[in-house]
Amino acid sequence: MSNVVVFGYSGFGGGHITEELLARGHRVTGVARTATTDARPNLTTHAGSVHDAAFVERITQDADVIVVALPGAPDGQPELASALPALLEAAARAGARLGVVGGGATLLAYEGGPVVRDLPTFPPEYTTEADAHLRALELLRGYDGVADWFYFAPPVGYGPWNAGTRTGNYRLGEEVLIKVPGTAREGFDSSISGPDFAAGFADEIDNPKHHRGQLTIGY
């Protein structure tokens, strides 16, 4: 049983990860800007900001794992990348591992190819979020401290509009987008349900295999 702090526990990704971790017997401390939930075994919740370094240090001091499931560029809020230095410092101080729910547009569209964000068919309305996640990943890759981290990028077709159900059947990869079979080389048709992504994320917590790197999942 691990002590896991989940920033963004009330959102789509963080909510599914929280449920999966609780089902596996972990103790979860959930953090959101507004913490509203009934008391549950092994779950405590707090209102707070990932951009408040003093709060981050305090809430993570007993953590084994720190999970960040937040947008890269939330409306009216600082970018995720700006919070990462304090999160990495907190992880190093606590001896904890940092796991970030990333963005699918940061993945290579195909082996040796561009990232999905740079495909000519990538929807322009998503470039702000994609660019913010690319900056977050770049910051992590440039980190030279002692904390361990992993950046788990879901496929492009992941989100509350495609919540899906738990299947237990998925593929894992690293830096290349896992596409739906038959998708064109320049395409990015890819998918994973909320529960299956959470299962893959929790597996990496329970059995760490990716250290200081990017990984992904898909059907």
Q: What is the pLDDT of residues 112-148, one digit of tens each?
A: 999 999 999 999 999 999 999 999 999 999 999 999 9
Helices (H), the chain: 12-23, 53-59, 84-94, 127-141, 194-206
Domains identified in the chain, total number: 1
Residue 136: helix, strand or coil by DSSP? helix
Q: What is the CATH number of the domain that holds 171?
A: 3.40.50.720
Domain, as residue range, for 155: 3-218
Whether the Cβ atoms of residue 134 and residue 117 lie closer than 8 Å to each other: yes
Pairing relationship of beta strands 171-173 and 213-218 according to DSSP bridges: antiparallel
Q: What is the pLDDT of residues 66-122, one digit of tens each?
A: 999 999 998 888 999 999 999 999 999 999 999 999 999 999 999 999 999 999 999
Indicate if the pLDDT at residue 35 is higher than 90. Answer: no
